[in-house]
Structure 1
Amino acid sequence: MARAINTNILLSKTFKLFEFKGLWSSIFGQPSKGGIWIIYGKEKHGKTTFALKLADYLSQYEKTLYISGEEGLEKEFKDAVKRAGVNPKNKRLLFSDYVELGEVKEKLNKRHAPKIIIFDNTTVYNDELKNGELRRLALQYPTTTMIFLAHEEKGEPYTATAKLCKKLAKIIVHIEGLTAFISGRCPGGTITINEQTAMLYHGSQILNN
């Protein structure tokens, strides 16, 4: 059972923060490191592109591992990396195809383990994250930021595991029409992934947001 603390101790706690700048700061704020984030949306709406842009940016702050569990590291994923404009000289961003959750834990237990890990996606890891494993994973590695991608069905993340991710997430990113709508424990806002396509889908008012 977790130890209860009084108000004074609670208010004196300090946290390691992502000291974001510019647009990222105005929308994401300065979120604490660790915990769960989720990115979800329908097929072909820009989830992977946004996740790759985010991974490239986050790797400025922490070593980042992107697990392409669904697409693997095939040509299509390589093309997605190019479209996202990921810096080819960025050595703090690593890529892997699917690895079992047990192997992920082995990586996280190493001395120079990545502190940000992106799971693409929850459908691939659904069975391994069932029966409380998602919560246990987050509790076992509290200083590791875990970002889960998920498909969308009827406006919500697809699979029960993905829905739990959204409930636990401090940052929620809903992708629709090449636009990222960010909410959760942050200021919130929108980021267009591709302005021309986003305008065709949402209208010109999306740029004003």
Structure 2
Amino acid sequence: MKAIGITQFLDKSFEVYDFQGDWLESFGQPEKNFIMSIYGGSGNGKTEFAIQLTKHMASFAKVLYCSYEQGISKSLQDAIKRNDMQDLKGKVMFTSGGVFDDLILRLKRPASGKIIIIDSLDYAKLSLDQFKILKKTFPRKSFVIISWAKGDKPRNQHAKDIEFMSCIKILIKNFKAYPVSRFGGNKPFVIWDKKDTTPVQQKLF
């Protein structure tokens, strides 16, 4: 057990990601070991938002996108192209397949990534206990957990439990992200503007 006084606490500084613009207004400035829970129904824009988040986070640190659900697929490739990620060589890595032990081994590699995106918890069958192992083993990494929803809440009990642990919780609905962030912001984030005349099926998976 570690104790700290009020003066020490107030003098303590924390490393954060310096979000600006729309990202700041929606999510604040997250600490560099944040936990983010993203959930929503099919076809509401989860993957598109995850790719937009990946692109934004890659401006700060290397991102590992664990694509359990879509794998290395054309639909994911299309999302990458839509968001103009061609210039992020060396800053983003995608993986597919594997079990929990494979993920642990991957994350132990040098330069494995500071931000880890798991898409999705349901497809990977990630449990709460496994997630606790991830956080304990890699306390300096940030984790983004994407899950399916039932209504406006995560469908899976493990996803619900991880949502309680998360400092940023995001419901994806009708192409908007609705955040609840401990770091401030909390303005809805537009994933796709309906004023855009491009058909939805071409914009989102």
Indicate the TM-score class for this superposition, using the shorter chain for normalisation: 0.7 to 0.9
Partner of 1:82: 81
* Gap regions ≥5 residues in structure 2: 197-205
Tell me, in whole angstroms, the C-alpha distance in 2 between the residues paired with 1:110 and 1:28: 29
TM-score, with normalisation over the residues of structure 2? 0.88
Partner of 1:47: 46
Query: 1:173-192, aligned counterparts within 5 Å?
Result: 173-185=170-182, 186-192=184-190
**Secondary structure, aligned partner of 2:179:** strand
| Cα shift at 1:197 | 7.1
Amino acid at match of 2:130: E
| Cα shift at 1:12 | 2.8
**Secondary structure, aligned partner of 2:7:** helix
| Cα shift at 1:184 | 2.3
Tell me, in whole angstroms, the C-alpha distance in 2 between the residues paired with 1:99 and 1:192: 33
User: Is residue 163 from structure 1 mapped to residue 160 from structure 2 by the alignment?
Assistant: yes
Tell me, in whole angstroms, the C-alpha distance in 2 between the residues paired with 1:61 and 1:157: 28
Q: Is the 8 A contact 1:65 1:96 kept in 2?
A: yes
Amino acid at match of 2:88: N
Q: Is the 8 A contact 1:52 1:86 kept in 2?
A: no
Partner of 1:19: 18
* Ranges of 4+ aligned residues in structure 1 off by more than 6 Å: none
Amino acid at match of 1:175: I
Amino acid at match of 2:170: V
Coordinate RMSD, CA, aligned = 1.7
After superposition, the Cα gap between the structure-2 partners of 1:55 and 1:7, relative to the gap in structure 1 and judged at 3 Å, is same
Partner of 2:191: 193
Partner of 2:203: none
Deviations 1:135-168 (A, max 9, x none): 2321221110000111111321111111012101
Query: 1:1-209, aligned counterparts within 5 Å?
Result: 2-83=1-82, 85-91=83-89, 92-126=91-125, 128-130=126-128, 132-185=129-182, 186-196=184-194
* Gap regions ≥5 residues in structure 1: 199-209
Which one has more relative contact order, counting CA pairs under 8 Å at least 6 apart? 2
Q: How many residues align?
A: 194
Share of identical aligned residues, percent?
Answer: 27
